[in-house]
Amino acid sequence: MPTECSAECFDFGIVEDRPVEAAFDGGLVTSDAGALLLGATDRAIGMLDRFAGCFHDVRRANLIEHSVATLVGQRVFAIALGYEDLNDHDELRYDPMMAVLAGKLVARREDCAPVAGKSTLNRLELSKLEPTRYHKISHNPVAIRNLFVDLFLEAHARAPRQIILDLDATDDPLHGEQEGRFFHGYYDCYCYLPLYVFCGHHLLLSKLRCADVDAAAGAVEEVARLIARIRACWPRTCILLRADSGFARDELMTWCEANGVDFVFGLQKNERLIAMIEGELAQAEAKSRRTGSRRDASRASCGRLATSWSHSRRVVAKAEWTKGEANPRFVVTSLRRNAGKAKDIYEKVYCARGDMENRIKECQLDLYADRTSAATPVVLLDGLCAAVRAAPDRPA
């Protein structure tokens, strides 16, 4: 006969003056205890307090329940934990872990939870440059952009000899009739086209753009801003820009040459470039057939003068024969011959940019940076929590 248990809890007596009971209601629990590590990380670098300092709050202090610092921290921590939608916060505001992270276990008012719900957070994300009657929290976009770079600079005990800045554009798919939507042929979808700049694991820029622009659109202005701030702190550090062929634009390369910044950019192949390495391709084919290898390669470097460029620049070519056919690759660079062999420039310098793809995947897959569900392309918090990853590199 099945046992019928109606007891709500079981008493196991007293141990060291404390009652020991077993209950089955679960109590108030959380599945996100790992957030305590994120909280400790933030306390080490003070990112959220500094991010909150980028906002201006004109609300009456005696009437508000949730401060800007609490709102910002709640939103960023939730994204890092996998709760990318504002709707999630109608449940999260009762989560004890979110209350611990906010440093506020109990609300001051009986009709409020310790942290905010979706409506309050929505007003934060829709804040304007100047406070209004209905949006009394405003933000400083310049301070927000500079925060990424400042965290990067502070993560180093001393100035490095050289840094490499990786630039890339990627898709941010749209779902619905969002403002500024355009169809991008390469990604085969309606999307935005954000511009990312990384230095190793550090995110320096995440700029949301419409998809009707070139991949390098606005890159000169953003690179100039980033490098000016870096050089103000590290004047002797050598800086190298690295990107694919979408950024091999004369305007960007000319700016780099005028400002003492080196670059290595991919270069789209064409008939003229391929003709310049016909000899190397023939040697690679002959060696491949002689050895029976499915892959062999030789390298060469050459100067090229194109009508779309203001002057000739050094081009490094990779003459490769793979899977029975030619597979030539090209990069354009400002690095001189004494800076390294053509083979090293392509394989050790340029090909290493593939690691940046992992950083973008982390933003999109781990931090849900591709969930831009707002009606307009003004997203204040897009990718910001990625800066938390800089904390382990901060010197003691």
A 10 A CB-CB count for 84 gives 17
Write down how long the chain is.
396
Stronger pLDDT, 172 or 391, i.e. the higher one: 172
236 and 379 inside one domain: yes
Which single residue is written with the structure tokens 């793809």? 357
Cβ neighbors of 35 (< 8 A, separation 6 or more) are 77, 80, 81, 97, 98, 100, 101
Q: What is the mean pLDDT of residues 243-268?
A: 95
119 and 47 inside one domain: yes
Share of the chain above pLDDT 70, in %: 86
Residue type, 85: D
At 300, the pLDDT band (50, 70, 90 cuts) reads: low
Model pLDDT, residue 261: 97
d(CA 215, CA 66): 40
Share of the chain above pLDDT 90, in %: 34
What's the DSSP call for residue 95? -
Give the range among 137-146, 164-173, 365-374 with minimum mean pLDDT. 365-374
Q: What is the mean pLDDT of residues 346-374?
A: 83
Decide if 386 is inside a domain: yes
Decide if 357 is inside a domain: yes
Decide if 298 is inside a domain: yes
Torsion, Cα of 216, 169, 257, 340 (10° steps): -140
126 and 259 inside one domain: no
- pLDDT of 203 strictly over 80: yes
Distances (CA, A) of 365 to 196, 202, 372, 386: 15, 17, 13, 12
Residue ranges making up the domain that contains 87: 35-139
CATH of the domain at 378: 3.90.350.10
Using one digit for the tens of pLDDT, what is the confidence trace for 12-46? 778 778 887 777 776 667 788 888 888 888 988 88
86 and 161 inside one domain: no
Q: What is the mean pLDDT of residues 334-352?
A: 87
Distances (CA, A) of 97 to 18, 101, 114, 125, 311: 25, 6, 11, 22, 59
Decide if 379 is inside a domain: yes
Q: What is the mean pLDDT of residues 136-163?
A: 92
- pLDDT of 309 strictly over 80: yes
The b/e string for 55-82 (b: 16+ C-beta within 10 A; e otherwise) is bebeeeeeeebbbbbbbbbbbbbbbbbe
Domain boundary among 91, 118, 139: 139
Model pLDDT, residue 307: 58
Give the range among 101-110, 179-188, 355-364 with minimum mean pLDDT. 101-110
Decide if 320 is inside a domain: yes
What is the full DSSP assignment across 101-154?
HHT-SS-SSTTS-SS--HHHHHHHHT-BSS--SS--EEE-HHHHHHHHHHHHHH
Model pLDDT, residue 293: 57
Q: What is the mean pLDDT of residues 143-164?
A: 93
How many domains in the chain? 2
Decide if 17 is inside a domain: no
Token reading at 175: 């779902």
- Give the SS3 label for residue 375: coil
- Give the SS3 label for residue 36: helix
210 and 185 inside one domain: yes
Decide if 322 is inside a domain: yes
245 and 147 inside one domain: yes
Domain boundary among 139, 174, 200: 139
Decide if 236 is inside a domain: yes
- Give the SS3 label for residue 160: coil
230 and 367 inside one domain: yes
Q: What is the mean pLDDT of residues 281-293?
A: 77
pTM: 0.82
Stronger pLDDT, 302 or 139, i.e. the higher one: 139
d(CA 315, CA 265): 10
At 216, the pLDDT band (50, 70, 90 cuts) reads: very high
146 and 130 inside one domain: no
Phi, psi of 211 (to 5 degrees): -85, 5
Q: β-pairing, 189-192 with 182-184?
A: antiparallel
Q: What is the mean pLDDT of residues 262-270?
A: 93
Stronger pLDDT, 287 or 344, i.e. the higher one: 344
118 and 158 inside one domain: no
At 390, the pLDDT band (50, 70, 90 cuts) reads: very low
Stronger pLDDT, 110 or 299, i.e. the higher one: 110
Q: What is the mean pLDDT of residues 79-89?
A: 87
For residue 331, which of 310, 302, 297, 360 has the smallest C-alpha distance?
A: 302
- pLDDT of 251 strictly over 80: yes
Alpha helices, DSSP H only, in the chain? 35-45, 47-52, 68-80, 89-92, 96-102, 118-125, 141-154, 219-233, 250-258, 271-276, 278-291, 342-344, 354-361
Cβ neighbors of 49 (< 8 A, separation 6 or more) are 69
124 and 231 inside one domain: no
Model pLDDT, residue 125: 81
- pLDDT of 303 strictly over 60: no
Model pLDDT, residue 237: 97
213 and 279 inside one domain: yes
Domain boundary among 111, 139, 167: 139
- pLDDT of 388 strictly over 60: no
186 and 51 inside one domain: no
